[in-house]
Structure 1
Amino acid sequence: MAQWSDPRVTGTQSSLAGVGTHAGDVAIDAGLRAHMLKVYNYMASGVLLTGIVAMLFAGSAFGQDVMSNGGILRWVIILSPLALILVMNFGLNKLSTPALQACFWGFAGLMGLSMSTIFLVYTGASIATTFFATAAAFAGLSLVGYTTKKDLSGIGTFLIMGLVGLIVASLANIWFQSSTLQWVVSAVGVLIFAGLTVYDTQMIKNTYLQLRNSDSDFIGKAAIMGALNLYLDFINMFQFLLSFMGNRD
């Protein structure tokens, strides 16, 4: 991703140019704040929808039967969010903004069905405690990503490689059933998604700065995809933390 450089003029340039640049900077700052607010609103609404759907589904007899007894339907529910992620990524240029929004809300709802199992395994109090701990950590990490002047693009590849390794280890542990490996996976998972929260926030900011003069519809799509990335960072960090902080029923 190309780096955006601040076009502020120096004191040796004319005062008229300085005034014009200041006005431009103010406009950019206002636009960036509005864009980031839209991203956070999408992300927070998606998390809220996921939580509501998860609680309602876990509280229903049908949901408890499906998620507890297994079967094909359970795996369909678990894997269906992945299908929507693929649609959103590969269909980004073809989908309209309302269609992309619908995919995002559908994804958040399906994630709620998939995550309903946590309400069947952990106590409500420990889920709530972990959620607020994750929210506090996420807010601080995202603020770092937004405000830091350090270029974080270099750590992106490292984090993605770590994520791939994490997935491989998680799949391997389905067969090994090692509690030690599970603890390591959870600890590394928290660190990786903490790093991705910082990284993704800066990438969302940089993307807006690059696209601010582009078509507003495309910027709207960028906000949705940015929210999706932060949503995934939050949800994954929450689930890994829950393995440490959660008390089982």
Structure 2
Amino acid sequence: MKIALFATCLVDGLFPDVGKATVRLLNRLGHDVDFPVQQTCCGQMHVNTGYQAAAVPLVRNHVAAFAGYDAVVAPSGSCVGAIRHQHADIAEQAGDADLAASAAELASRTYELSEFLVDVLGVTDVGAYFPHRVTYHPTCHSLRMLRVGDRPHRLLQAVRGLDLVELPEAESCCGFGGTFALKNADVSAAMLEDKLRNVLGTGATVCSAGDSSCLMHINGGLTRLQAGTRTLHLAEILASTEDVPA
């Protein structure tokens, strides 16, 4: 199987360890992973802020960058959600039927990491070791757009040494929402306060999720509280072994 990593903007620019962990994990499972250097932003932030026409070149570049791969894997429910639910529509509204068809075909072989592991590779035990108390925040796009369901939990439950504790009101948004956190700062902060209270109430030392954007938001709040709880992407936990410091 020819696999490509779609890193996403946040991973590429701010959280490269998440991308490295994704590759390390898939390598450990016996799969080579390419990183097409032509890849850029998927265009989600353009569409979500009303600049749909500006996203068309990004969709076209994305389709070209990942042509020929059997599977495209991204450590982000948000970006995979945008690829599946926006790309073909963006091209159609621009009047480019060929691009729309290509975008839809590419979307059908684009996967969020937990989907790829469970549904495509058919594994839940990835050989990980992470001896910590962990709670999991299901991000909005992975929960509501992709409907990844219990896949992340099944993966975490199979990690040796990990104590998985349920997050109260887990399905509530953390308050990030991309530019929502900037345009509606007070509401975002109130939503984050609720999320932090629930995270800290679990007694977990690590809060995990499948999107670096939400983790960035939650970690900002935890850091300001000096709570002693850290955030870690699902990929980083699953890539951990006894040979890799946890």
TM bucket by the smaller chain? under 0.3
Query: Rg larger in 1 or in 2?
Result: 1
Please identify which structure carries the higher helix content: 1
